[in-house]
Structure formats: C-alpha cells, structure tokens
A and B are shown apart, each in its own frame.
Chain A
C-alpha cells in the first residue's frame, strides 16, 4: 500500500507522512507539482494525497493529468480553500474524496482506509454484518432475525455504516454522506441518531451493541 503525499507545507507533510508510516503505509512526501510528476512516473501509488495550492501550480492540474493518464490511484484532495465550488470541481475531475483543512489525523486516516476498501465494495442488494441485515430492495432491516422499523434518516445512517462495515467512519464523513453538509452542523445530531439506532438494534438481554464508538473520531459497525 503506497501513498504519495503532495503538500508544500513541510511540517504538515511530514506529520502526515509519519502518521501514515506508523499505520504501516509506505508514504512518500513531495513538495511541488514537478516533484510529484517525477515521483509518479518513477513508481506506482495506490493513494495520492493532493494539496491544491502548490508553489508551482494548482493541484487540480496534476489530478487532470492522472485521470487522463488512466491512473487507477485513488486521490484525496487536501485543501485549505474548502469551498463547495472547489469540492465539486475536484470530485468532477475524478478525485475520490475531499478533505478540508484543518483536519484531524483520524479523519484523514479514516478516509484513506475507506479508499483502500472502496474498490472491494461490490453492489450487493443485501448488506449483512454482525447480525444486522439490510435488504436494499425491500428496505427490510433485521437484527438477530428480528425485524426492526427505522425512520428515513436512521435507515440511511445504518446503510452507510453497513457499507463501511469494519472500519471507522468519522462524523464529518457521516454528515457529508447523509446530510449533505460540508461544514460542522454544530449539533450532536449524529450522536443522537446513533443512540437511537443502537437502542433499536439492541437484541433482548444483549448489552453489547454492534455499533462501536471511536472516541473523538466517529463510529464503526462491527
């Protein structure tokens, strides 16, 4: 698993590189577009973490080159601009994810992990994990064999957790996916929904919940 980090702020770049290396990823840091092109031609990478404001140009240029060059690498845009316009144009150009600065490392890690598994996700019509089963066609949800009723939001949230089963999804990821909010909603809405979901998924006499909390980061199913 090789990651190319393109970030002109050396401190930030090194921090991200070290953090990823501690998580057993192989990471290379470059600080300009020119160095990025060179590194990319010399080696193959699975994930590219791309800052947009670089000393020798716009990171989106490099993204364009990657996508026209038929590269299979996943791209996470890292941007201080953080406006919706940039996000949309980045995603339209073929970026897989977009993370606004400032971010926490857990957020970045969760997104890198999501990317590395995104390719494995197949389009199943039934999601099944840890006793929770969701039929995407009939919209029927069962937990431990018992049918449970969910509101629209609860259903969407559980579906998102099931699709990312086995890894942490951050609150920001959830609010982007379910509420289409790209900024902090400034509410504990997600935690409340998780609590409701947990209550509904709780099977009789079993105190443990299939939804786990990753403290300060987000949640994971299973």
Chain B
C-alpha cells in the first residue's frame, strides 16, 4: 500500500515536472520568436522610410539608372542586414541589391511561405540548404513597388537551439525529478510510516502506546489523532474485559473459597450422618466443577481479548511431544485404551509449553473418553513448511459433519458425555482460545468412512 502510494507520488511528480520544464522552454522559444519577428518588421519599416526618402528625389517616369543612382550607396552600406528590390508600378524590375545575387525577393503570394510569416528565399550563394529564411516587407512608395528583406537566419537558429534543448532535456529532467520525487515522497510519507510502525507495535499487551502527533494540524496529524482515539476506545474496552475478569474472579472466587472451606470443615467432623456426608461430598464435587467453569471462562475471556500473557519459549517440538507421550500412554493405558505417537517431526517452535500442554491434555482426555474399550488414540506431529501441525484421532463414534464447527463454542453439548463425569462444555473452546492466541488454528475433522474423530491444530513455527 505504502509502496504503491509512493510510486504513484513519484511518477506523478516526475511527469508534471518534466512536462512543465518542456512546455516552458517550448512556449518560451515561441514567444521569443514572435518578438524577433516584430523587431524585424520594425526595422524593415524604418528602412523603408529611409528608402522612401532617397526615392523621393527620383524624377518620373523613373529609369533604372536613376533609381540605382539614388539608392546604390545606401544599399551597399546596409547590405549586411537588408535585401532591396525595387520594381516599377507595372512590375518591371528597376533595382536589385547586390547581395541578392540576381534573385528576387519572394512575393507574399508566390513566395515559399513558411512558418511564422517568414518567406523562404532561395539563394544559390547562401550556405543554408533550404534557402535563406527572410522576413519580407512590401511597401508602395510613390510609383515604386518596394520589397525589403532581412535575414532571420540567426534568430531561427537560436529558436531551434532552444527547442532542441527542450526536447533533449526530457530524459534528464525526468530522471532528476524522479530523484527529487523519491526524496520528496520519503519525506512526505515518513509520518505515515511512523504511524504504521506504532500501530503495529500496539497490541494487547501494549495498548498504552500512542502515535506521536506533530505540532502542525495537517491531514497526517488528524489521521494520527483519529487512530489514537480508536486506540483509546480499544484500550478502554480491553481494560473493561480485564476489569470484568478481575471483578468476576474476585467476586466469585472468594465466596467460593468460603463455601469450600466451610464444607470441608463440616466433612471433617466424625459425627456426620452418612447421608449428610454423601450430600456434602456431592456438593463439594459440584463446587469443583463450578470452580473449573469459572476458571475456564476467565481464560477464554482473556484469550479472546488477547489479554492472556503467554510465556513463549523456543523448544524442540519432537522433544516436547515425546514428554507428553509418556503421560499420554499412561493415561490411555489407565483408561483401557492405547496411545501411539505415529509421527513426530522435529523443528524449533516458539510457544508457551504450559498452555499448550493444557490443550494436549484436554484433547487427549476427550479422545480417551469417547474411544471404545481397547481403541487406539493416534498422535501425529508434522512440520509442513513453516507450520507445525498436530493431529489427535480416536476410534470413537465421531461427530456429525454439521456439529464439527459448533463443538468449539462455549457450553456445547455435542458428544453428550456418555458415561463418566459431565464436562464443562468449555474444554474445546479453551483449546481454540489458546491455539489462536499462539497465532494458530484448530479444527475438527470427521473421519469418514472410518469411524472416529480427529482434531488438528496448526501453529506457525516462528510465532
């Protein structure tokens, strides 16, 4: 997201900068050019007035000789700047300045009219291959038909130079503005990056941190302020969960302790009639169940709020499960079932061994509970890529496909606890809470067509 934004910014900036530089040069050259044409027209006008003055002395009807006599000195003097051509009213040539080399100045009609009102004037003696670019003015002076021309060669050269420069500058300006744009986007996006980093750091155990808001009240500060407000609300909600868990534990657990202590006290007396003893022992058993429900609800609440602190350590998965298997074999054996560790891949994983053991024992005791006598409970631990996958399966009745998902909900009654003690209905919910807190996932699979039930959880190896 950030990359695309900065790339967009850089691209936008570079394009705009390059276009601006190019257009500035191009339009500038055109403006200067039209200025030059105007200047040329002005000096042609001036020159025509001088020629008019010279021609005013010529008697009518004028001969070519008389005209030459009147203007030759002057045209020779100005030959470096002007071309002169004087025709009679009828169009007969009367005078051509020497620098024309015998050619005529083009007419506005028949001349090779090129861009910007410049008449191209082909002169064999001129170096320019396409002909000499000239500006021609036509003046009716008395009975004379005069044309004056001035060379625009250097001006046109200058304009073309500027235009070449404009074209040549495109890649260079583009490259330069990419660099500038890159630097600019880094500077502009730096506050955003800081916000991103802080927001990533803010998690369940670290909700107190806030994004630094720079003094100015620009868009980014407003965004940071908005995020901080959200974090405030989040922290408050989070605190409430914590508070609730704390209150709940204190308000419930302390009186429960009193009940337990009193019941135990009564039970300790020798003189208790057997029926009452039985009733009290049952009450004590229910009390134990209630205590477990509270404990598990608390763990769930904390796990879901990500407020359950994990003491993660990097451990060998194979070694960890070997240890668990020793316990599992003994427990299965005790329940008249068999336990087998079928696959045990080894990898280093980061997890809280105590909480994960809780998950394993929970799944194992379910499997033992629902296995038929002599049934086999199988554990597989596989390392697939960067995931640690553990499966526990039994040969029990299994669970209907549609119930698989709801098994992990609180107080689910799926499975029904046939025989043995009723469960809390929270065991699998707690398992899911703990696994998800580790960044993993847990799900149940119906083993069709074979009988039985399988639970599999996956954890990322580097949590």
Contacts and interface: CB of A to CB of B under 8 A. Distances in A.
Interface of A: 9, 11-12, 15-16, 19, 53, 80-85, 88, 100-106, 151-153, 179-189, 192-193, 196
A9 B251 CA distance: 10
B334 A102 contact: no
A181 B258 contact: no
Interface string B282-320: 000001000110010011001000001101000000000
Nearest to B353: A180
Nearest to B205: A85
B249 A82 contact: yes
Interface string B322-366: 010011001100100000000000000000011001100110110
A186 B331 contact: no
8 contacts: A9-B258, A15-B262, A19-B261, A80-B246, A82-B295, A84-B308, A179-B327, A188-B331
Interface of B: 246, 249-250, 252-262, 264-265, 287, 291-292, 295, 298-299, 302, 308-309, 311, 323, 326-327, 330-331, 334, 353-354, 357-358, 361-362, 364-365, 427
Contacts of A102: 253-254, 256-257, 259-260, 287, 291
A150 B232 CA distance: 56
Given A15-B265, A102-B259, A193-B330, 5 more contacts: A80-B249, A104-B260, A105-B265, A179-B357, A187-B331
Contact of A101 (B257, B262, B287, B354): B257
Contacts of B252: 80
B326 A151 contact: yes
Contacts of B427: 186
B261 A192 contact: no
Contacts of A85: 309
Contact of B357 (A16, A153, A181): A181
Contact of B361 (A88, A106, A153, A187): A187
Contact of A186 (B253, B330, B334, B365): B365
Given A153-B327, A187-B331, A180 B253 contact: no
Contacts of A181: 354, 357-358, 361
A151 B323 CA distance: 10
Contact of A12 (B257, B287, B354): B257
Contacts of A183: 295, 299, 358
Given A84-B354, A105-B265, A9 B327 contact: no
Contacts of A192: 330-331, 334
B100 to A, nearest CB: 104
A130 to B, nearest CB: 25
Contacts of B265: 15, 19, 105
Nearest to A51: B254
Interface centre among B250, B255, B295 (most CB of A within 10 A): B250
A153 B326 contact: yes
Tell me whether chain B's interface is mostly helix, strand or loop, or mixed. helix
A163 B365 CA distance: 30
A184 B358 CA distance: 9
Contacts of B334: 188, 192
A12 B250 CA distance: 12
A102 B256 CA distance: 6
Contacts of B330: 189, 192-193, 196
A182 B355 CA distance: 9
A187 B262 contact: no
A98 to B, nearest CB: 14
A126 B246 CA distance: 44
A184 B246 CA distance: 20
B357 A12 contact: no
Contacts of B261: 12, 15-16, 19, 104-105
A13 to B, nearest CB: 10
A152 B258 contact: no
Given A82-B249, A102-B260, A189 B327 contact: yes
A103 B354 contact: no
Contacts of A84: 308-309, 311, 354
Q: Sort A-B residue pairs by CB-CB distance and give the 5 closest, nearest first.
A: A102-B257, A101-B253, A80-B253, A102-B256, A85-B309
Given A12-B261, A80-B250, A102-B253, A186 B292 contact: yes
B364 to A, nearest CB: 8
Contacts of A101: 249, 253-254, 256-257
B326 A187 contact: no
A173 B249 CA distance: 21
Contacts of B354: 84, 180-182
Given A80-B249, A102-B291, A180-B354, A9 B254 contact: yes
A80 B250 CA distance: 5
Nearest to A217: B264
A15 B255 CA distance: 12
B257 A103 contact: yes
Contacts of A196: 330
A169 B21 CA distance: 87
Nearest to B296: A183
A53 B365 contact: no
Nearest to B352: A84
A180 B327 CA distance: 14
A182 B308 CA distance: 14
B258 A82 contact: no
A184 B353 contact: no
A151 B325 CA distance: 12
Nearest to B249: A80
B361 A186 contact: yes
B114 to A, nearest CB: 89
Contact of A184 (B249, B259, B264, B292): B292
B434 to A, nearest CB: 11
A182 B253 CA distance: 16
Contacts of A187: 331, 361, 364-365
Contacts of A100: 253
B453 to A, nearest CB: 19
B327 to A, nearest CB: 6
B260 A83 contact: no
